[in-house]
Amino acid sequence: MKAQVLTSFGGPESFELRDVPKPVPQSGQVLVRVQATSINPLDYQVRRGDYADLVPLPGITGHDVSGVVEEVGPGVTAFAPGDEVWYTPQIFDGPGSYAEYHVAAESIVGRKPASLTHLEAASLTLVGGTAWEALAVRAQLKAGESILIHGGAGGVGHVVIQVAKAMGARIFTTVREDNFEFVRSLGADVVIDYTKEDYVEAIRRETAGHGVDVVFDTIGGDTLTRSPDVLAQLGRVVSIVDIAKPQNLIQAWGKNASYHFVFTRQNRGKLDELSALIERGQLKPHIGAVYSLADIPSAHARLESRDNGLTGKIAIAVGPLADVASANA
């Protein structure tokens, strides 16, 4: 089978398209013909060596799968050949999704929502699971509460807006002005142009000094330090950013704030929760660009660029059945 193999840690050129052996499902596993995958910030963090101790080289990376079950191992009862499935591979525990085939434990695999294409489904597994883990499990966001989502037009942010809206929250988000219409169409109530206005001042004005109940951080920097300035009492901060720089959290004490750091845990339950939102029309991923398996290095370079012109996710068409809706949009 064809696979993008990470040969060394570094830039996008560290990938090499190779022929590698097709995996064989073991007990409790399914073999999936990958139709589509996608690119996440986690993917380029892995590629450049942020998790070097956990990633043996050469290796296959990638963290989203939408595809078709081709074979099942002994003991598998939930799936049969021909079933369309979606899931996030078990990160740092075996090969990833940048290949034509992938094997996964039956327990982490879900049935792909029928209303989504493979490209759409693959663009949602990791970010959707992250959004659910962050909002429902960790922040325990409730109807009537408010949330500030940093980077609402991005691959994670545009999903978090929709999930938070489905939970009944009032949505504040930071984006560039040219993305105002996009995030409003997803459900954002108050949109802040972070290039023209300080978000702390904007939140204080829009909430009459009360603050928001939850801050969702996708940008890092000094967000953890500044979040207490926009939090209401008993507010929660959820971050998905690996921040190496020490942060001063003394102001969080006065707000009785709690901080949560989320690294997605794989399970079918979260996929089923997302499927319910999709079936009710409350969640739909937005694909900003589509690349092929061979063009994964270019996709990495584009996502990593600050001015990439993207809203939503970069999807990767892998299999012959992958329904390419656009190309490098």
| Distance between CA atoms of residues 41 and 198, nearest Å | 25
Quick: pLDDT tens for 77-119. 999 999 999 999 988 889 999 999 999 999 999 999 999 999 9
pTM of the full predicted structure?
Answer: 0.92
Q: How far apart (Å, rounded) are the C-alpha atoms in residues 99 and 268?
A: 22
Stretch (H or E) spanning 86: strand 84-87
Q: Is pLDDT at 279 greater than 60 in this prediction?
A: yes
CA dihedral 59, 61, 67, 71 (to 10 degrees): 30
Rounded Cα distance between 278 and 38, Å, is 19
Is residue 310 over pLDDT 90? no
Which pLDDT does position 215 carry in this prediction? 98
Mean pLDDT of the 126-154 span = 96
**Is the pLDDT reported for residue 327 higher than 80?**
no
pLDDT tier, 320 (very low <50, low <70, confident <90, very high otherwise): low
Residue 306 has pLDDT above 80, yes or no: no
Task: Give 181-216 pLDDT, tens digit per residue.
Answer: 999 999 999 999 999 999 999 999 999 999 999 999
What 8-state DSSP symbol labels residue 59? B
**Cβ count near 155 (within 10 Å):** 26
Domains by residue range for the chain, with CATH:
2-124+285-328 (3.90.180.10), 127-261 (3.40.50.720)
Structure confidence at residue 328 as a pLDDT band (50, 70, 90): very low
- Residues 6+ positions from 318 with CB-CB distance below 8 Å: 34, 35, 36, 37, 67, 99, 100, 292, 293
Q: Helix (H) and strand (E) counts for the chain?
A: 10, 15
Instruction: Tell me: pLDDT of 329 over 60.
Output: no
**What is the predicted pLDDT for the residue at 322?**
45
Answer whether 267's CB lies under 8 Å from 108's CB. yes
Name which of 156, 159, 164 is nearest 189 in CA terms.
164
Indicate the average pLDDT of the chain. Answer: 93
Residue 118 C-beta-side C-alpha neighbours within 13 Å: 23
Q: Specify the amino acid at residue 287.
A: I
Residue 257 pLDDT class (50, 70, 90 cuts) = very high
Residue 126 has pLDDT above 60, yes or no: yes
Query: Which residues of 166-276 form beta strands (DSSP E)?
Result: 170-175, 190-193, 212-217, 231-239, 258-261
Per-residue pLDDT at 22: 97
